[in-house]
Structure 1
Amino acid sequence: MNSKMVANKVVVVTGAGGGIGREIALAMARSGARVVVNDIGASLVGDALAVNPGQQVVDEIRAFGGEAISNSDSVSDASGATRIVEAAVDQFGRIDCIVNNAGILRDRIFHKLSVEDWDAVLKVHLYGAFYTSKAAALHFKEQGSGSLIHMTSASGLVGNLGQANYSAAKLGITALSKSIALDMERFNVRSNCICPFAWSRMTSSIPTDTPEEQARVDKLKQMTPDKIAPLAVYLASDAAAEVNAQIFAVRNNEILLMSQPRPIRSVHRSEGWTPESIAEHGIPALKASFFALDRSSDVFTWDPI
C-alpha cells in the first residue's frame, strides 16, 4: 500500500504489539497516518512480558519514516482508555480513528468457566471497545468526523466451543458498533466491525487434538495478519465515508459482508397462541428454518482464497 490514503490522520491501534494489530499499525503508518501503538506488553492470557512489543512496532514505523508513539495503558480500565486517546491528542493534536483490536483469551468449557475468566475477557474486549470509543466520542463530535473499527469474531457471529466469554464479548461488540453508528451518524462518525481470519496469538490456542482440527489450523496459518490491514486502512479513510454499521470478514484474499439478524420466517394465529398450539403448529412450522448447532468451522468450510 503505497498510496497515502490516510495521510495526516491520527490513528490509535490497541493491542498493536503483534499479530493483526501490528500489521494494521504498520499499514496505517505506511499509508500516511500518525499512529499511537497501544500494547500493555502482556501474553495471551494477560501475563506481563519482559519487553513491551509496542515500542518495537514504533521503532519499525520510524525506521521507514513514519510517525508513531507507543502507549502501554490498558483498555480494560476507563481511565487507561482515556489516557490512550489523550496521548494521541497531546502528541498529534487530534484523533481520527480507533482500531479496537486488543484482546485476550481465557478458553474454558462452559461449566468450568470461572467468574474471573468471564470478567477478564469481557473487560478487555467489550468494555475495552466501549471505553476507548467513549473516550474518543467527544473529540469526534467536536471535529465532526471519526472512524471506529472494532474486531469481532466468527466465535461470536457463529459460535465456538469453550469460548462463552470471548463469544459473548465479540457479539456484544457488533451491537455496540451498531449503536454507536446510529447515535453518532449525525456527527459524521462511522463505526464498523471486522471479523478477521488470521493466524496470530489469538488463534494459536486452537486445539489440534484431531486430524480435522490440525487441518483447520493448517488452513488458518495461510491467512496471515497482514491480509486484514488493507480493509482497516480503507475504513479509516475518507474513501469509506458512506460505509457505516457494517460487519466485514476477511479470509486471506477474500472480503465478506456478513449478515445481521433479520426475521426469516413467521407464523400467525388469529386467535392467539397457547403453549399447546405453539407445540402443535407454531414450532413445527418454523422448524425447517432452525439454525443448526454450528461452530464457525462448520460455516466457513471452504479453503481460504
Structure 2
Amino acid sequence: MVSYVVKKSLNNNVVIAVKDKYEFIIVGKGIGFNAKTGSHVPENKIENVFIKQSLGESKFDTVLNKVDSKIVGICEEIIFLCENELGKKLNEAIHTSLPDHIDFAFTRIKKGIKIENPFLNEIMVLYPKEYRLEEKALIMINENLSTKLPRDEIGFISMHINAAIERKNVNDTVEYMRKIGEVMKFISVILKKDIDKSSLSYERTVTHINFVLERIKQKKTIKNLLLDSIKEQLYNEYGLAIKVAIKLENLFSVSVPEDEIGYIAMHLKRLREL
C-alpha cells in the first residue's frame, strides 16, 4: 500500500504530501512536527485530507509562493474545524481565498491600517454558526501567529466560510451584507434615531428582512392576518415600511408583497420604541 510522503510541512499540524502522483493537504495533531521532506506521513495521525491537485502548477501553489506557510497552515486547521463542526465539506476555493485574505489582513495591520467591519452586527445575526466558529478561528490565528487581528476580522472570515458553505463567490456574500447594512442605515434615517445594533429589536429586524428576501426568492407567500389592523393602528409605521419595501426592491430587484410590508411595519414600531 502506497503511503503519503511529506513534500512540505506547513506547521505542526498540517503538511503537504504526495501519493500516486497527486498532492494532498493533510491535517492531524502533531503531523507536521519535525516532519522531513520525503518521510512517510503516520496514517494514525491523519484527521483530514484534501486533494490539492495532480502534480503541477495550481492556484494553491500561487498562494504558497506568495503567503507565509504558517498562515496557510493555520487556515487549513480553521477549514478543518469548520468542516468538522458543520458536518459538511466547504467549497474548494476556500483553500486559496482564506489564506489570501488573512495575508492581506496581516499586511494592513503591519501598515497601521485599521481593520473595521461595518457589517459585524448583521453578520453575527445572519451567520451565527459561522460567527461562533470564527471566534475560535481568530484566537487560533492570534495565538499561533503572534499577532493581534481585531474582532472585526471575525466577520470577514465568517463571510468567507459562509460563501464556501453556500458554494458562491465571497464577493456575493460581501455585497449582500453591504445591501442589508444599507437597508438598516436607511431605517435609522427614516426613524430619525440612532438604533442600538446590539439590541434584540435590531437583531430581529435584520433576521426578518433576510427571511423576507428568502421567501421572495423562493416564491413563498405568507399571509398577514393582522394587515388591516396594522394599517389602521400603525399608520405611520406602515407608511415608513412602504419606503423600506421600495428600498429593498431597488437594492435587490424584488417585489415586496403587501403582507410583508405589514410585518416590516411591526418591526419599525419596536425599533422606534427602543
- Shorter chain as normaliser: what TM range? under 0.3
More strand by share: 1
Q: TM-score, normalised by structure 1?
A: 0.25
Bigger relative contact order, structure 1 or 2, given CA contacts below 8 A and separation 6+? 1
Greater radius of gyration (CA): 2
More helix by share: 2
